[in-house]
Amino acid sequence: MITIQKYVRAQSLEEAWELNQSKRNRIIGGMLWLRLGSGSVNTAIDLSGLGLNTIEETDEEFSIGAMVSLRDLEMHEGLNSYSCGAVKNAVKDIVGVQFRNMATVGGSIWGRFGFSDVLTVFLALDTYVELYKGGIMSLEEFASMRADNDILVRIIVKKTPGKAVYTSMRNQRTDFPVLACAVSCLDGEYRLSVGARPARARVFRDEKGILAGGITEQSAKDFAQYAGKTVHTGSNMRGSAVYRSHLVKVLTERSLQELGGM
Amino acid sequence: MEIKLKLNGRAVTGSVDADTILLDFLRQKGCLSVKRGCDTSNCGLCTVLMDGKPILSCSMLAARADGHEIYTLEGLQEEAAEFTGFIADQGADQCGFCNPGFVMNTIALLRENPDPSDDEIRAFLAGNLCRCSGYEGQLRGIRTFLESRRA
Ligand SMILES: Cc1cc2nc3c(=O)[nH]c(=O)nc-3n(C[C@H](O)[C@H](O)[C@H](O)COP(=O)(O)OP(=O)(O)OC[C@H]3O[C@@H](n4cnc5c(N)ncnc54)[C@H](O)[C@@H]3O)c2cc1C
Ligand code: FES
Ligand code: FES
């Protein structure tokens, strides 16, 4: 477990950012992941006093503060109505209610964890991150970057018209996913986001136009076969690469069928 | 550093280190129902209510609780007594170690959803692990409590 010398509840993002420039200081979100690490943190920088714990909804977008909990995501009617329940389905099996009341969107997205259900689902939506110094960029771009000393302020989900479906395979209900899969069709563009490969989630598009004529039993099957060949998987204690590649096909086909109303 | 919070309805203050864990602070304040199980945010044994929401006190800094309201089982005896007898009647507890966490999270469940279905009970209590029972006894106990309340 980590040790902490000093605790500061930041009064402004500027104060938090300045403190975060020292390598020995750390931002704390829900602290659930952070505390399982080892070593010594000089100053723990708490963002909980900055009002970043709200989800704001307008006609165009959802603005989700970095300190919003996973439970808030699960319970937000607007977000779940827009995402067809995909966001709720992504987080509902993460450990337990108590855990989800503490784990934050900011920590989950910042961590860019390979196993992340949270990153997987938001990559399938039209999502952006706002960094305090780095400004706004697409989540896809952010997910491929290495962590630096900036601060994630909020994520933005545009209400691009469309539908989404989330599924995952777990060895046991509240365990990490063996594979996480989200599909969406936004403004006519299909996206497949696959996480827990076990590497970090990535977006795959319908580059071959397999779904160009819409979702049918056959096109869902064909796209699933294509995904099985395209999505790179690996092995860890939860499953082998071969098993995961099989799951890519099964979860992609099932999710597409659901997306297509079959 | 000094922290000030409301614990089981009473104002308390205390001096804590930056990395003092809320669980340890609460035990120092005499709330011995709050127990450490896994210490890795997995088992739910250390559940307390912070501003009315169930959280894991093993994973929260005491400093972060400054200015907030915490309830432990010590402060919720009456609310717990409404249903714990039904759980005991089903022989749900064996060693009983998981019980305080289960009771706290059941209180949170029933406040949020006074008449949950079996699936809703299972989903809400999924973060409370029990090494002995297989969970059916707890489920039956809560179900009989709900039935008795409906009758
Ligand atoms: C036992 C356990 C089981 C889990 N199971 C799952 C699972 O099944 N599925 C899943 O998707 N996830 C799972 N997770 C991950 C969890 O959902 C969170 O994503 C994780 O705990 C990080 O969120 P946090 O709020 O706790 O962040 P913290 O632990 O506080 O922070 C994580 C990292 O992000 C940095 N950070 C936090 N917030 C910011 C910010 N706003 N700006 C910049 N940097 C920041 C911190 O410095 C730290 O480096 C699990 C975690 C644990 C501990
Ligand atoms: S002791 Fe806190 S979750 Fe297990
Ligand atoms: S009764 Fe023994 S851990 Fe639950």
- The full set of domains in chain B, from first to last, is 2-74 (3.10.20.30), 76-150 (1.10.150.120)
ipTM of the complex: 0.97
**Which tokens go with A46?**
């708490």
Please state, in angstroms and rounded to a whole number, the distance separating the CA atoms of residues A74 and A84.
12
Q: What is the pLDDT of residue A90?
A: 98
When scoring B22, B43, B56 by the number of chain A Cβ atoms within 10 A, the one with the most, hence best to mutate, is B56
Q: What is the pLDDT of residue B40?
A: 96
Q: Judge if the beta carbon of residue B132 lies within 6 A of ligand 3.
A: yes
Does residue A183 sit in the same domain as residue A112? no
Q: What is the pLDDT of residue A1?
A: 84
Of A157, A184, A179, nearest in space to A168 by CA: A179
Indicate the burial class of A5 (C-beta count within 10 angstroms; 0-12, 13-18, 19 or more): middle
A172 contacts in B (CB within 8 Å)?
Answer: none
State mean pLDDT over B99-123: 97
Does residue A71 sit in the same domain as residue A147? yes
Which run of H or E residues covers position B23? helix B22-28
Termini Cα distance of chain B:
52
Q: Which among B53, B123, B127 has the least Cβ separation from residue A95?
A: B127
Residues with Cβ within 8 Å of A63's Cβ and at least 6 positions away in sequence, in order, are A55, A56, A57, A154, A156
Q: What is the pLDDT of residue B9?
A: 98
pLDDT at position B83 over 90: yes
User: Is there a contact between A7 and B1 if contact means CB atoms under 8 Å apart?
Assistant: yes
Distance of CA A141 to the CA centre of its chain: 13
Does residue A152 sit in the same domain as residue A167? no
Sheet hosting strand A55-57, strand order edge to edge: A55-57, A61-65, A152-158, A127-131, A135-138
Q: Which among A9, A93, A98 has the least Cβ separation from residue B56?
A: A98
Termini Cα distance of chain A:
48
Going from the C-alpha of A160 to that of each of A50, A75, A126, A251, B113, the distances in angstroms are: 29, 21, 7, 24, 33
Does residue A141 sit in the same domain as residue A168? no
Q: Which of the listed residues A105, A139, A158 is the one where a domain comes to its end? A: A158
**Which of the 8 DSSP states describes residue A47?**
-
User: Is there a contact between A99 and B127 if contact means CB atoms under 8 Å apart?
Assistant: yes
Where residue A168 sits, what CATH number does that domain have? 3.30.390.50
Q: What is the pLDDT of residue B151?
A: 85
Q: With pLDDT > 90 as the criterion, what percentage of chain B qualifies? A: 95
Q: Judge if the beta carbon of residue B138 lies within 6 A of ligand 3.
A: no
CB-based contact A38:A55 (threshold 8 Å): no
User: Is there a contact between B59 and A102 if contact means CB atoms under 8 Å apart?
Assistant: yes
Distance of CA B15 to the CA centre of its chain: 24
Token pair 């082998």: residue: A240
Q: What angle do CA A97, A103, A107 make, to 5 degrees?
A: 160
Indicate the burial class of B143 (C-beta count within 10 angstroms; 0-12, 13-18, 19 or more): middle
Query: pLDDT, tens digit, for every residue of B33-72?
Result: 999 999 999 999 999 999 999 999 999 999 999 999 999 9
Does residue A21 sit in the same domain as residue A73? no
Does residue A215 sit in the same domain as residue A201? yes
The residues with which A193 forms a beta bridge, in sequence order, are A182, A203
Q: Judge if the beta carbon of residue A30 lies within 6 A of ligand 1.
A: yes
Q: What is the pLDDT of residue B107?
A: 98
Q: What is the pLDDT of residue A45?
A: 98
Q: What is the pLDDT of residue B133?
A: 87
Distance of CA B52 to the CA centre of its chain: 11
- The chain-wide mean pLDDT, for chain B, equals 96
Domain that holds residue A20: 2-46
Does residue A37 sit in the same domain as residue A128? no
Does residue A67 sit in the same domain as residue A150? yes
Does residue A82 sit in the same domain as residue A127? yes
Please state, in angstroms and rounded to a whole number, the distance separating the CA atoms of residues A58 and A29.
25
Q: What is the pLDDT of residue A50?
A: 97
Mean pLDDT by 10 residues, chain A (262 residues): 95 98 97 94 97 98 98 98 98 98 98 97 98 98 96 98 98 96 97 98 97 97 98 97 98 98 92
**Which of the 8 DSSP states describes residue A76?**
-
Count of domains observed in chain A: 3
Q: Judge if the beta carbon of residue B96 lies within 6 A of ligand 3.
A: yes
Residues with Cβ within 8 Å of B26's Cβ and at least 6 positions away in sequence, in order, are B7, B34, B48, B57, B70, B72
Does residue A66 sit in the same domain as residue A154? yes
Does residue A85 sit in the same domain as residue A123? yes
Please name which ligand lies nearest the alpha carbon of B129: 3
Q: Judge if the beta carbon of residue B38 lies within 6 A of ligand 3.
A: no
User: Is there a contact between B54 and A97 if contact means CB atoms under 8 Å apart?
Assistant: yes
Does residue A22 sit in the same domain as residue A100? no
Distance of CA A190 to the CA centre of its chain: 18
When scoring A34, A41, A74, A98 by the number of chain B Cβ atoms within 10 A, the one with the most, hence best to mutate, is A98
